[in-house]
Structures are given as structure tokens and as C-alpha cells.
A and B are shown apart, each in its own frame.
Chain A
Amino acid sequence: MNGLTAAFIAMLRRDLLLAFRHRGELANPLLFFLMIVTLYPLGVSPEVELLRRIAPGVIWIAALLAALFSLENLFRSDFEDGALEQMLLSPQPLSMLVLAKVIAHWLVSGLPMLLLAPLLGLLLAMPDKAMSALLLTLALGTPLLSLIGAIGVALTVGLKRGGVLLTLLILPLYIPVLIFATNAVTASAAGMPIEGQIYFLAALLVLALTLAPLAIAAALRISVS
């Protein structure tokens, strides 16, 4: 095992371990996700026909906000205790280390959202045939949210009140994901093919996987210097 792989795995393990030591915090983004979805039937209308129609959008918007919420602390504690500086000084490429962190973040926030989604689909009376499309778009889309969001987090990590700023920076960049994903779910509910949207999400994911780590690393170097 060469140095880079070892460092990558060590980083991944460390972040997962840290997440599991704070089990309470682990559930927070998920509860947030669930809460937002609950607000829609209360705020808009509990009528089944309407809920069925807006379900893809509601679940996706909730996923976007939950991702934003959970991302905020991605680099914060490392920045505060100096671990981030050690990463910057490490001989391993920073982009790979942050990729490990982002993957760890997705495993503890994106993946549980994926598992929770069928339940939410059920609550919003989503048709069964759209369910698989929803899971597919979430599987491709939530890693994208983590990757894009991490760029914004890296840019704002040195700031005192980065939270609102983060929203302003990241949500415009999330829009394509939202559009393709909800489009796919709606199309599949109407019985139409969804390959086009899925391929697009997959292409975006590949693009983000290659470019986002570089941008995150550059942003971290700027923020910490």
C-alpha cells in the first residue's frame, strides 16, 4: 500500500470514527430533512393529489437544505484545532485528503438520507414507479451536493459567521442538480424515459469528482493562509 492510499484510508477512517463518536449529531441532518418534508403538507395542503405532484421537488429541496446544514461543520473543527493546517503541510496531495473527507461526509449524511427517502416518498403519497427514480437521483445527486458544497465550506471556513454566506454561495450552484433530479422523478412518475436526466447527473458527478477536490484544496489553502 503506497503512502497516498494509506493516507486516504486513514483520513476516511478518522472522519467516520469522529462522526460515530458524536452519534447525537449524526441524526440531526436527518431529522432536519424529515422536518422540512413534514412542513409541506402542513403549510401547503394535505391533499393527496397535490402532494403526489410536488413530492419530488419537496424531497429534493429538503435534501438540498439538509446537505447545506450538515456541510457547515465539514472543516470547522479541523480548522479550530489545527488539524487542517497539518493536512495542508502533509506531503500527500491535499485534494485527495479532502476527497476522503467529503466521502466520509457523504457516508454519514447523504447515504442515510437515501435510506430515509422511501419513507418520505410514502408520506407524500409518491407513486411506486417514481420511487426507484427518486432513489437513483438521490444516489447520484447527494454525492454531488457534498462535493459542490465542500467548495463553499472551504471558502468560508476562516470566517466568523459563514452560515448565511454559505447559502448564498452554494444554492445557485445546486440548481442544475435540483432541476435534473426532479425532472427525472416527475418524468418517471408520468411513465416517461429518464435516461437523459440520469446520464446528465452521472456526467455532473464525474465532473465534480475530478474538479471539485482541486477547487476545495485551493480554497482551503486560501482560507487558512
Chain B
Amino acid sequence: MWLFFHKLASPRYFYDISGKLIPWVGALCLGTMMYGLYLGLVVAPPDYQQGESYRIMFVHVPAAWMSMFIYTLMAVLSAINLIWNIKLADVMANSSAAIGASFTFLALVTGSLWGKPMWGAWWVWDARLTSELILLFLYLGYIALVSAIDDKRTAARAGGVLILVGVVNIPIIHYSVEWWNTLHQGPTVTKLDKPSIHLSMLVPLLVMAVAFKLYYLAVVLMRARVEVLDRERRSAWVQELFGAADSR
């Protein structure tokens, strides 16, 4: 098991295995997403209060989950990179940032599309929306910082510190805006007792959440592969793969 992780952390091995993995993950993602959308848009009954427009949550909620999941994952990866100096962890954190930011953006956009018929306004300064917006700022700050520093290793470490500072701040932001102002509906799935959402709506939601996770995995692997090639372009195995001509 440990040996596998050690091998996986080597860029070359990662490049090989991710190349084999991506088509499978991609196909699986496509399948679950079609299935989830079918369940959510066709099979699930309309909501007794919100009618048909609640269906946007099958995209909105998984996107919001992903936005937080990716940030946490980036924090873990950054910590791994800062402590053990594992290059691949940083490659993954780096490649995750843009995807995380786009999921956050998607959650904000779908949220405001849903908010217009429900609350009568595109944007309200509600706690969840506000903390999601700040999360987007944190992602953008990370991306800006990493792209402002030329040396990739330095950029990775600096970004890692920022992400870790941000992760301390996220619960604080979350609760501070929650106490400050709230309008968003309470949690319906992640409660300790029985979910208060009906099973016919919960199943498509969870299927979509899995589909989004798979999508993230496929895309992050693709991005990480490119990043690995770029960083290792002087190493023997990359030159072997592509010929020494374009490496200079």
C-alpha cells in the first residue's frame, strides 16, 4: 500500500497511471451524470412548494459541495507539500484551483438563477451566498498569487500558506455571515437524523454529487498531467516520451 503511494508520487508513474485512468473516469462521469440528470429532471416529482424550479438544485447543491470539498482538498495537499515536499501534491493543488473556482462560480450563478423566482431578487446578501462569494475571492486570490510568482516551487509554497490561512478562516467566515444575516434554507441533507428531503429527490442529488466528483477527478488528472509534463520537461523520461527535439 505504502509502496503504491510512493510510486504514485513519482511524476513519471503518475503520468502513466493517470493516462490509463482518465478515459475510465470520464466515461463513468458521463454515465452517472446522464443518469442523475434523467432522475432529477424527468423522474423526480415537482416540489409541492417550489414547483419545477427547484430542479436547479440538482446542479446547484453538488456544485456548492464541490466548491468546499476542493478547497479542503487543496488545503490537505498544500500541507502535504509544505511538510513532506511532495511535488505531486502541489501539482494537484495547483490544478485544482481553477476547477474549484469554476464550481464556486457555478454554484453562485445557479443560486442566483434560483433566487430570482424564489426570493424575487438575483442577489441577496444572505449568509450562504456571501460566504460562497468570499470563497470565490479566496480561490481567485490563490490563483493570482500563484501566477504572480515566476518560480513554480516558490509559488506552490506561497500558495500553500495562503490556502492554509484561508482554511482557518473558512469556518469563521461561514459562521460570522450566518449570524450576521441569513435567508437561505436550512440544511436538508447533511443532518444527523433522517434527511428531511424525500427519497425521490435525494437519490438524483447524490447521483449528481458523485458525477461531479468524477468530473473533478477526470479534469484534475488531465490538468495535472499537463502540469507534470511542463515541470518535468527537462527530465529523461519526458524527453524519451516525446523525443528530445522540442525540449531544448
Which of B141, B158, B169, B177 meets A219, CB within 8 Å? B158
Which of B158, B168, B180 meets A222, CB within 8 Å? B158
* A112 on the B face (CB < 8 A): no
What is the interface of chain B mostly: helix, strand, loop, or mixed? helix
Count chain B residues whose beta carbon lies closer than 8 angstroms to a beta carbon of A. 26
A222 touches B161 (CB 8 A): yes
* A176 on the B face (CB < 8 A): yes
B137 to chain A, nearest CB (A): 4
> Chain A contacts of B164 at CB under 8 A?
215
User: Once bound together, how far apart are the Cα atoms of A219 and B160, in whole Å?
Assistant: 9
User: Once bound together, how far apart are the Cα atoms of A223 and B166, in whole Å?
Assistant: 18
A204 touches B161 (CB 8 A): no
* B172 on the A face (CB < 8 A): yes
A222 touches B154 (CB 8 A): yes
User: Once bound together, how far apart are the Cα atoms of A219 and B180, in whole Å?
Assistant: 32
B168 to chain A, nearest CB (A): 7
Considering the complex, which residues of chain B in the window 222-244 have a beta carbon less than 8 Å from any beta carbon of chain A?
A: none
| A180 closest partner in B (C-beta) | B176
A21 to chain B, nearest CB (A): 31
B28 to chain A, nearest CB (A): 35
Which of B138, B145, B177 meets A165, CB within 8 Å? B145
Count chain A residues whose beta carbon lies closer than 8 angstroms to a beta carbon of B. 29
* B157 on the A face (CB < 8 A): yes
> Chain B contacts of A172 at CB under 8 A?
134, 137-138, 141, 166, 169, 173
A208 to chain B, nearest CB (A): 9
Q: A159-B149, A169-B145, A215-B164 are in contact. Are A179 and B137 (CB under 8 A)?
A: no
A76 to chain B, nearest CB (A): 16
B30 to chain A, nearest CB (A): 35
A151 touches B161 (CB 8 A): yes
What is the interface of chain A mostly: helix, strand, loop, or mixed? helix
Which of A159, A173, A215 meets B161, CB within 8 Å? A215
> Chain B contacts of A207 at CB under 8 A?
168
Q: A173-B169, A176-B173, A183-B180 are in contact. Are A168 and B158 (CB under 8 A)?
A: no
User: Once bound together, how far apart are the Cα atoms of A215 and B157, in whole Å?
Assistant: 12
> Chain B contacts of A156 at CB under 8 A?
145, 148
Which of A175, A180, A200, A215 meets B165, CB within 8 Å? A215
User: Once bound together, how far apart are the Cα atoms of A212 and B148, in whole Å?
Assistant: 23
Considering the complex, which residues of chain A in the window 147-172 have a beta carbon less than 8 Å from any beta carbon of chain B?
A: 148, 151-152, 155-156, 158-159, 162, 165, 168-169, 171-172
A185-208 Cβ-contact flags toward B at 8 Å (1 or 0): 000000000000000100010010
* A16 on the B face (CB < 8 A): no
A64 to chain B, nearest CB (A): 14
B161 touches A219 (CB 8 A): yes
* A218 on the B face (CB < 8 A): yes
A179 touches B141 (CB 8 A): no
| A161 closest partner in B (C-beta) | B148
| B138 closest partner in A (C-beta) | A172
Q: A180-B176, A211-B168, A222-B154 are in contact. Are A155 and B161 (CB under 8 A)?
A: yes
B15 to chain A, nearest CB (A): 27
> Chain A contacts of B154 at CB under 8 A?
158, 222-223, 225
> Chain B contacts of A171 at CB under 8 A?
137
Which residues of A are at the interface with B, using a C-beta cutoff of 8 A? Answer: 148, 151-152, 155-156, 158-159, 162, 165, 168-169, 171-173, 175-176, 179-180, 183, 200, 204, 207, 211, 215, 218-219, 222-223, 225
- Report 9 cross-chain contacts, Cβ distance below 8 Å, ordered by A residue: A158-B149, A159-B149, A165-B145, A172-B138, A172-B173, A179-B180, A180-B176, A211-B168, A222-B157
